[in-house]
Amino acid sequence: MPLSRVRIVLIATSHPGNIGAAARAMKNMCLDKLVLVRPRLFPHEGATARASGAGELLENARCVDSLEEAVTGCRLVIGASARLRTITWPLMTPRETAQKVVSHYDETDVALVFGREHSGLTNEELDLCHYLVNIPTNPDFSSLNLAMAVQLLAYEVLLASEEVTPASQQGQLPAEVEKFEGFVQHLEQTLTDIDFSDPRKSDKLIRKLRRFFMRAAPDDEELNLLRGILSAAQGRKSMRRDETSKE
Amino acid sequence: MPLSRVRIVLIATSHPGNIGAAARAMKNMCLDKLVLVRPRLFPHEGATARASGAGELLENARCVDSLEEAVTGCRLVIGASARLRTITWPLMTPRETAQKVVSHYDETDVALVFGREHSGLTNEELDLCHYLVNIPTNPDFSSLNLAMAVQLLAYEVLLASEEVTPASQQGQLPAEVEKFEGFVQHLEQTLTDIDFSDPRKSDKLIRKLRRFFMRAAPDDEELNLLRGILSAAQGRKSMRRDETSKE
């Protein structure tokens, strides 16, 4: 019954009350997997008080050190973003997000990621997200309380899950986050090897490329293909050719 | 701009924090008319703290002695009900409720009525409601926090009022088709040059890669970047480096 493949990931939450309120909101909407990345104060009585009858979600919450660790094994990572950023990113409404989560529910764990109360997600954290979700709000007062944002998305996920709409498959699932990271590292190394970039000043370049490839959400086969091309560009034996490489 | 004909009516609220959180939730969703029926503690610093930037909703909140007084002038009164009651009552979902509110918005003030934290609405209060709205929840843990319930209904009302939601902005426009084709040809040539593929049998491979890159819908800048990498892999002078290439 609980939608256990949907993780709610809260990053560096300042107010323990928000963690408790988020847990209650989750349980109200049949979610039960809470992952906390470096919470400021946890466990904490302020969290327990606001959780009301959802204390077991706090007890079972997983505490980790990085978002990367929190989303391990997820092939769908969706970050909640308060503002429209200048960055080009596939941006979804909560309803579209819930549809996507539900349509892939049988195939993978999914992470819905919520940033810090005041500053949201860092660029490095955004880099790990396949999509961003923006909750429509009053443009003059757009900053939602963290637990409220969790409540709204959890509500949409519950509604979508009850709509019994698996049907509309969205194509292949992207590869797991770890595999994608492996590809990005390989890409970075290759750019140095082929004299395209200086590793000491390539941060901005790599971010651009990472976003580009993340947007395309490559699946396992595509990542293998891309890595084969990188290896060939590096002058190593291509992984795709059967015959021995002619050096 | 604010949806001022929609009143949020809170009856005999026990926790001032809930009043503050409800005010913030309302302002986030463009609602600004708060009516309090016999609040236990109000004004109160607990309400002010949770209201965050929505303090003026608390200052302008109307305090009255009865629900009857709170809904004066409304031709549409909708009560939030946590449980399905045995009473036969026209019961709506939050989405249906929002549709109804918006469809009558030009004709009348509307009241969305929320009962006490633990006991909801009395029969006498229900008698004043034209409809009830039930928020879908986990049947084993259905009691929503009061402010969360306000947040969810306010969100649905905002969405319904905007309906024409362009929301999912897709950022930059992709590059023109000719440019994309130029990139694909460059990619194909590079794969041959780096000994990755045999041009006579690479059709299927190129098709796969083309689909992958097409899905990411690169813009002009991204195409230039990718072509720079291809040139570097071909061993030609990279278009991106200013200094002379060291051969």
Query: What are the tens digits of pLDDT across the range B135-169?
Result: 999 989 999 999 999 999 999 999 999 874 333 34
Residue A112 in contact with partner chain B when CB distance is under 8 A: no
In the predicted model, what is the mean pLDDT of chain B?
86
Binned at pLDDT 50, 70 and 90, residue B91 comes out as confident
- Interface ipTM above 0.85: no
Nearest CA in chain B to A96: B168
Query: What are the tens digits of pLDDT across the range A152-182?
Result: 999 999 999 987 433 333 456 788 888 999 9
Q: Which of A137, A138, A129 is nearest to A91 (CA)?
A: A129
Q: Which residues of B touch A163 (CB under 8 A)?
A: none
Domains and CATH numbers, chain A: 6-162 (3.40.1280.10), 177-233 (1.10.8.590)
Q: Please give the interface size between A and B, counted as residue pairs whose CB atoms are below 8 Å apart.
A: 162
Judged against a pLDDT cut of 80, whether residue B212 lies above it is answered with yes
CB A153 within 8 A of CB A133: yes
Q: Residues A153, A158, A162, A168: what is their CA dihedral angle, to the nearest 10 degrees?
A: 40
Residue A236 in contact with partner chain B when CB distance is under 8 A: no
- 3-state class of B110 per DSSP? strand
Residue B244 in contact with partner chain A when CB distance is under 8 A: no
Lay out the sheet containing A74-80: strands in order across. A62-64, A33-37, A6-11, A109-114, A74-80, A131-133, A91-92
CB B187 within 8 A of CB B231: no
Q: Which run of H or of E encompasses B11?
A: strand B6-11
A173-177, A203-207, B29-33: least confidently modelled range = A173-177
Residue B92 in contact with partner chain A when CB distance is under 8 A: no
3-state SS track over B96-107: HHHHHHHHCCCC
pLDDT at B215: 76
Question: Quick one: tokens of A107?
Answer: 């195939």
Nearest CA in chain A to B141: A28
Residue B158 in contact with partner chain A when CB distance is under 8 A: yes
Which A residues in the span 9-68 are in contact with B, Cβ-Cβ below 8 Å? 21, 24-25, 27-30, 52-54
